[in-house]
Amino acid sequence: MSYNYNPSSKKAEEFINHEEILETLSYAEKNKNNVELIDRILAKARLRKGLSHREAAVLLDCEIPEKVEEIFELARQIKQDFYGNRIVMFAPLYLSNYCVNGCVYCPYHMKNKHIARKKLTQEEIRQEVIALQDMGHKRLALETGEDPVNSPIEYVLDSIRTIYSIKHKNGAIRRVNVNIAATTVENYRKLKEAGIGTYILFQETYHKESYERLHPTGPKHNYCYHTEAMDRAMEGGIDDVGIGVLFGLELYRYEFAGLLMHAEHLEAVFGVGPHTISVPRIRRADDIDPSTFDNGISDDIFEKIVACIRVAVPYTGMIISTRESKACRERVLRLGVSQISGGSRTSVGGYAEEEPEEENSAQFDVSDNRTLDQVVRWLMELGYIPSFCTACYREGRTGDRFMSLCKSGQIQNCCHPNALMTLKEYLEDYAAPGTKEIGEKLIQAEIGSIPKEKVQEIVRKNLVEIEKGQRDFRF
Ligand code: SF4
Ligand code: SF4
């Protein structure tokens, strides 16, 4: 290797090294029908300790139907072992769509003059949060465009404080994840102090040249500053970070290798990989036509990407949004996705009041338009337990502490009972009668699968207390 690839380097172009990605892709291409190698990689993956980006790239390229089925089967098993049948629920909350950047795939880009620009006041945030609480949400992902004048860090911090302070009926937002533009160590420290859960930032594309072309103007144009953001976030004390790419901008094989190299980098430098990986695909939106991006991926490829990520980084949660249709979500839930949004509005202020059509402020068109209650019911009918759990970061289980519990499998002792208790809260406070009926049966059927009898006993007692009006039990 004559190029400068170093997962432990702090420099973007060394830990996401272009030549290393090209070498990886050519290695994968050469070996995509190498049964012996594929079997060795699958055997390693079965140990559930993950794969390198090179190994995972070979699996992604593999075209032998029986081997592809083995990859899918292993992904399903790993999903079951680490995440059981639980799916964590969340909703995005858009604070502001003012943006100084020029991202060509996003309707919030600065030059778009026909989108309605909005920024929520603290009172409007209150209304949004009450509407979200009334749906049953406990976990939010905060979204805002980059604009130092309209949404400086102080505005984001004030908004987080407002969100956590609202207690409406039995509602509470217990975890605020934040997806804001790459910023300084000092600002990350402030976000940490404000009590955020995960800091989420999508790379969009790991391909530097394409990145610069797709982000022609604004601070986001700086590839290295953007790519090194998670390092600064971790330096600022945020130990749960969420990475992702926008599939469709560049060749998916390239992005896949980049994503895994980013995860390897965080693990090498900070001893803990990303908390989550998001897999958005480009969608239609105001001023944006996805067909202008010629790297779109089919549902079949998308499914394969999800399966290969699951096998390569078993401990990392995987998130999918309402960009994807019900049918597509159903396919990828089985293969590895552990968190989904439900009842989402992608416009600024879309929860408290539906936005009139002429005032479109949405970031993308939603494919799954169902209410949260419909999504909850659908999940249960498919045999999943919708979970509103937010326990870990509130119990200080973050970063390497979380990862070691995850790796030892002990986290299951918390996830399962917490899923049942938070679902019970949802059923008591927000569910439609039909949803409630299905949910009660599901909870009764699932208590028995809590491994420790002592924990089963506590859960049974807490479920009775929840019926009496108590809230927020957690392990
Ligand atoms: Fe702004 Fe983010 Fe949209 Fe880019 S992707 S235009 S940074 S809101
Ligand atoms: Fe997530 Fe922790 Fe709750 Fe499990 S216990 S669902 S890992 S927050």
**Tens digits of residue pLDDT in 106-147:** 999 999 998 999 999 999 999 999 999 999 999 999 999 999
CB 386 within 8 A of CB 425: no
Asked whether residue 410 carries a pLDDT value surpassing 90, the answer given is no
Asked whether residue 430 carries a pLDDT value surpassing 70, the answer given is yes
Report the phi/psi class of residue 6: left, alpha or beta, with left for phi > 0 and alpha for psi in -120 to 50: beta
pLDDT of residue 294: 67
pLDDT of residue 393: 87
Closest ligand 1 atom to residue 99 Cα is 1
pTM (2 decimals)? 0.96
405 CB within 6 A, ligand 2: no
88 CB within 6 A, ligand 2: yes
Q: How much is the mean pLDDT over the chain?
A: 95
CB 434 within 8 A of CB 475: no
**Tens digits of residue pLDDT in 357-407:** 777 788 877 888 999 999 999 999 999 999 999 999 899 999 999 988 888
Averaged pLDDT for residues 281-294: 78
Would you list the domain boundaries of the chain?
412-467
d(CA 255, CA 128): 35
Greatest Cα pair distance, the chain, in angstroms, is: 67
pLDDT of residue 181: 98
CB 169 within 8 A of CB 430: no
Task: Give the CA dihedral 324, 327, 330, 335, nearest 10 degrees.
Answer: -70
d(CA 311, CA 45): 6
Averaged pLDDT for residues 433-455: 96
CB 359 within 8 A of CB 116: yes
pLDDT of residue 285: 77
Return the sign of the alpha-carbon dihedral for residues 74, 381, 142, 111: positive
Backbone angles phi, psi at 178, to 5 degrees: -125, 130
- Token pair of 219 as six digits: 């601070």
285 CB within 6 A, ligand 1: no
368 CB within 6 A, ligand 1: no
Terminal C-alpha separation, the chain:
48
d(CA 417, CA 26): 46
Q: Collapsing DSSP states into helix, strand and coil, what is residue 275? A: coil
pLDDT of residue 287: 78
Contacts (Cβ under 8 Å, ≥6 apart) of 356: none
387 CB within 6 A, ligand 2: yes
Which amino acid is present at 68? V
Band of residue 291 on the pLDDT scale cut at 50, 70, 90: confident
Ligand with an atom nearest the CA of residue 98: 1
pLDDT of residue 289: 75
Closest ligand 2 atom to residue 86 Cα is 6
Which residue's entry shows tokens 């290797």? 1
d(CA 26, CA 254): 11
d(CA 94, CA 118): 10
pLDDT of residue 296: 81
Ligand with an atom nearest the CA of residue 396: 2
pLDDT of residue 364: 79
Backbone angles phi, psi at 356, to 5 degrees: -65, 145
pLDDT of residue 114: 87
Asked whether residue 23 carries a pLDDT value surpassing 70, the answer given is yes
Whole-angstrom CA distances from 168 to 15, 128, 133, 256, 373 are 46, 12, 7, 42, 19
**Tens digits of residue pLDDT in 208-242:** 999 999 999 999 999 999 999 999 999 999 999 99
Task: Give the CA dihedral 256, 258, 259, 265, nearest 10 degrees.
Answer: 150
pLDDT of residue 363: 83
As a whole-number percent, the residues of the chain with pLDDT over 90 amount to 87
d(CA 218, CA 302): 31
Q: Collapsing DSSP states into helix, strand and coil, what is residue 456? A: helix
Band of residue 288 on the pLDDT scale cut at 50, 70, 90: confident
Asked whether residue 420 carries a pLDDT value surpassing 80, the answer given is yes
87 CB within 6 A, ligand 2: no
